[in-house]
Structure 1
C-alpha cells in the first residue's frame, strides 16, 4: 500500500450482524480445465511440475476507499483482461472483494486467459486493528473472512490468500503479529476442515526494514498448523536508474537465502524517477530466483498517485508511458530454464527473539485461540458473506478468551482431534514448506532498503489506495 492510509473509524463502531446462508458445501464454482492450480514445493510455487513465477499487477480500479470490487463486474473485468494478456501477465492482486457478489464470470474469464488471482481477504471494514488487535479478532470478523475464502477457494485460478496487508508498519504495531498469524492459521484450518482446495495462505508486509525480516521468520516458525504457506512484502527500493547492488536487492537475497517458504513482492515499482522497470530483469534471473518467485507491479490503474499503468475514463482505457515500459521489460525478460535453483526442502526456522522497540513479540508467546463462537464455522461452514453492506467487525462480536495449544490444528484453546494439515502438492510434511533439513539461517544485519514514509492509521489492515 502506497503513501496514505485513512481511518474509517466512526462508521465502524457498530456491530455487524452476520447473515448466514446455506452451508459452504452448497457454494460451488465450475472447475476450469483451462488452468492448473498453483501448489507449493519447498520455497517455490509450481504449476503442475513446472516452476511458477508471479508476473503480475495490483488491480484495484477506483481504490478500495470506494469499496469497489474490480472482479465483480464481468464487463470491465473482461475489458482489462485484454490488457493483462498484452502485458504478458499471469497474476493479478485484488485488495477488496464483495463476498456477497457473484464472481464466476470474471474468474472463469481470467482462468481461460491463464491468469491467477492473489486475494486480500480483508476489507477496510473487516480487518484487524493494529493499534488494539485483540477486540478486532472476533467471530464476526472471521465469519466475513471465511465466507470470502469459501467462495474463492473453489476457483482453480485462486493462487493465494493474503491474511493481512501491512498490519505491522512500525515497532509498536508488531504486537499485532500474533493476531495476523492466528488469522493465517484459522484460514488454513477452515480450508482443511471444509475439505476445500489447499490454497496457499500468507501475509503481505509493509515496505519497512525495521522488522520485515523478523516478521518473515515469525510467519515460518512454530508448529505446522501455525506456519504460513508463503511470505510477501512490498518493496520500492529499486528506483531507476539503479542496479541489483545499488538498490540493496543483493543484500535482501543474501538475508533471505535459506528461507523455507515461497517469497515474492506483493508491490514494487518505485516512481521517484522515470520508471523503466529495470528491476524486472533482476527479479526473474537466477541471481534472485533461488529465493524469490516474482512479484506484482503497483498498480494497474492511475488513481492519482502516479503509479498507474493505464488511465480509465468511463469505458475507455488508455495506456500510459509506464505501461509501455513494463511491457518492454517483460517482453525482453524470460524466466530461467529449469527450476531456478529453488530450495527443494523448505522448512521452518526458529521464532525471532524479542527486540524492542522494533520487534515486540516474545518467541515463546502463544497465539490467541479462535474465538469460541467462530469454531462452528470450521465445522459447518461460514455461510453467506454479508459483502460491502456489512456494518464492520472491529468493535463487534466475541473476542478470543484463551491461547491456543500449538499443534492442535483447530486453533482452539485445547487440543483437537481434527487436523488442519495443509500439505500442498510436492510437499513431504504436513506443513506447506516441506522438511526441516535446511532451517533458515538468520542474518541479523538490517535489510538495506530505502524507507518510504508510512502514515499510521487507527486500523491495521484498512487499505486506502491513492
Structure 2
C-alpha cells in the first residue's frame, strides 16, 4: 500500500512538474515611479486592441489557439509587444495562446469584465455585488499564472460624460478589491488600473482620484482612450502638449488604452510623438484601436475565415513603429512617483465628495481566503442585481491583504505603496529557480516507471 501511494504521489508530482514546465518564462513587467520596467529597462507599451468580432460577436480570442497563432504572425510584423483583450471566457484554456504570445515577446493587458458581468453606470450599487466579484476574481485566477499578463483593467469607460462621475467610487472599489485579492492569493504583483474615456470635464480628476487616498485604495496605473490626434495634426494642434503638461508630476504609469483617430486617412503620425522624450516622461506608450476591421472601420486587417488581409492602416502603423525607436535611457520618467491629492468636489463635472469607498460586499469576503472557484464564463446568467450588494462604507486601509496566499505565487508583500507608486516592484520569473527541482522530479519518476516516460 505504501509503495502504491508513493507511485501515485510521484505520478501526480510529475504531472504538476510537466504542467509547470509548459509555462513559458518571460520577464515580468514592474512598476517603478510613473513607468513600467522589464528588469532594468524602461518598458513602453507598443500594442493594439485585439477583439475580433467586436461587441457584436462576443467571443474569447485567446481561447482560439489557431486564430491566435495566425494573428501573432501579424503582431510580429507590426513590432508589437502588447495586446489588449476586452472579453475572455474565464472557464476556457488559454495556455496555448498565452505561451505562443510569450514566445513572441508579447504581453497581455486584460479587461476583467464581460458584457454580463460589469458595473452599471446608471445604478452602480446593485451591480457591485458578490456574484460580479466572483467572476472578476475567477478571471484573475485564470491569468495570474502567466508571466506575460502585464496588467488588469478593472473597468472601461464606466464614466463616459460629465454627469456619470458619481460612479467613480465603485470603479475604485473594484480596483482595490482586485489588488487585495491578488495579494491574498499569493500571486505575483500584477498591476491593476482603469481605462477611462477621454472626457475633458473630468479626465484629470479621475486620474487624480485613482491615485489618492490610502495605499490600498490607490491604483497601480491609469489609462485613457484618446482620439484627439487626427492626421494630419501635430503635438500642439492635437492638444497632446497640454495633456502632457497637465499630467506632468503624476505619480503612476500613464498610457493610452485606445488611440488612432480615423476621421481622415490614418498615417499614425502620433506614434513619433508618443515615443519621443517630449511625452515619455509622462506616458508609457499606448494601444492602437484596433486589430480587426469591424463596422466602425478602425481595423488594421480584414479577417475572412482563416485568412488575414493587411489593410493600408496596417502598413502605415508598421512604418510608424519602425521609424520611431524608443528613447535611449529611461525616457525621463518620474522616479519618485507618489500619491495625488483627491480632486475637489465640483458637480456636475466631478460629483464625488471625498475618498469614501463602498465596502466590499459581505458575500465576496470569503473569496479573499478561499479563492473564487470556477468562473461563470461567457454563458453565465449575469450579475446585474444578482447578488448581495455593498451595504456600507469601507474604513481606510480595509483593502490591505488579510492573509498571505499560497496559491502558487511568490508574492508575500503587504500591498502597501512604496515611494515608487502603489505597485511594488514585480518579481522576475521564478521558473529558472525551479529548474533543479524539475530535473530531480523527472529523474525520480523515471527511476520508478522506466525511461519510457521520458
What's the CA shift for 1:197? 1.2
**1:298-349 superposed Cα distances (whole Å, 9 cap, x missing partner):** 0000011110000000001000000000000001000000000000010001
- Partners of 1:208 and 1:353 lie apart in 2 by 17
What's the CA shift for 1:203? 0.1
In structure 1, the partner of 2:28 is 37
> Which structure is higher in RCO with an 8 Å CA cutoff and minimum separation 6?
1
Pairing of 1:132-171 with structure 2 (within 5 A): 132-171=123-162
**Contact 1:120 1:163 (C-alpha < 8 Å) held by counterparts:** yes
In structure 1, the partner of 2:353 is 362
Residue from 364, 368, 371 that aligns with 1:378: 368
What's the CA shift for 1:210? 1.1
**Contact 1:31 1:156 (C-alpha < 8 Å) held by counterparts:** no
**Contact 1:159 1:199 (C-alpha < 8 Å) held by counterparts:** yes
Residue from 279, 282, 295 that aligns with 2:273: 282
**Contact 2:251 2:421 (C-alpha < 8 Å) held by counterparts:** no
- Partners of 1:145 and 1:409 lie apart in 2 by 16
Alignment TM-score, normalising by the size of structure 1? 0.83
Pairing of 1:66-465 with structure 2 (within 5 A): 66-363=57-354, 365-410=355-400, 421-422=414-415, 428=419, 431-432=422-423
Pairing of 1:1-40 with structure 2 (within 5 A): 32-40=23-31
- Partners of 1:370 and 1:292 lie apart in 2 by 32
Aligned residue for 2:42, secondary structure, equals: strand
**1:230-267 superposed Cα distances (whole Å, 9 cap, x missing partner):** 00000000000000000000000000000000000000
- Does residue 51 (structure 1) correspond to residue 45 (structure 2)? The answer is no
**Contact 2:173 2:358 (C-alpha < 8 Å) held by counterparts:** yes
- Partners of 1:297 and 1:417 lie apart in 2 by 39
Aligned residue for 2:276, secondary structure, equals: coil
What's the CA shift for 1:395? 1.3
**Contact 2:415 2:424 (C-alpha < 8 Å) held by counterparts:** no
Aligned residue for 1:149, secondary structure, equals: helix
**Structure 1 282/238 Cα, relative in aligned 2: closer, same or farther at 3 Å?**
same
- Partners of 1:417 and 1:69 lie apart in 2 by 32
**Contact 1:354 1:360 (C-alpha < 8 Å) held by counterparts:** yes
**RMSD over aligned Cα, in angstroms?**
1.8
What's the CA shift for 1:366? 1.1
Aligned residue for 1:312, secondary structure, equals: strand
In structure 2, the partner of 1:463 is none
In structure 2, the partner of 1:61 is 52
**1:38-90 superposed Cα distances (whole Å, 9 cap, x missing partner):** 11000000001110000000000001332210101000000000000000000
**Structure 1 29/204 Cα, relative in aligned 2: closer, same or farther at 3 Å?**
farther
What's the CA shift for 1:428? 4.6
Q: Count matched residues.
A: 401
Q: Which ranges of structure 1 fall in alignment gaps of 5 or more residues? A: 1-25, 435-466
- Partners of 1:417 and 1:226 lie apart in 2 by 17
**1:181-219 superposed Cα distances (whole Å, 9 cap, x missing partner):** 000000000000000111100000012211111000000
Aligned residue for 1:287, secondary structure, equals: helix
What's the CA shift for 1:394? 1.0
Q: Which has the higher helix share?
A: 2
Alignment TM-score, normalising by the size of structure 2? 0.85
**Structure 1 420/360 Cα, relative in aligned 2: closer, same or farther at 3 Å?**
farther
Aligned residue for 1:183, secondary structure, equals: helix
**Contact 2:155 2:195 (C-alpha < 8 Å) held by counterparts:** yes
Aligned residue for 1:61, secondary structure, equals: coil
What's the CA shift for 1:407? 1.2
What's the CA shift for 1:402? 1.1
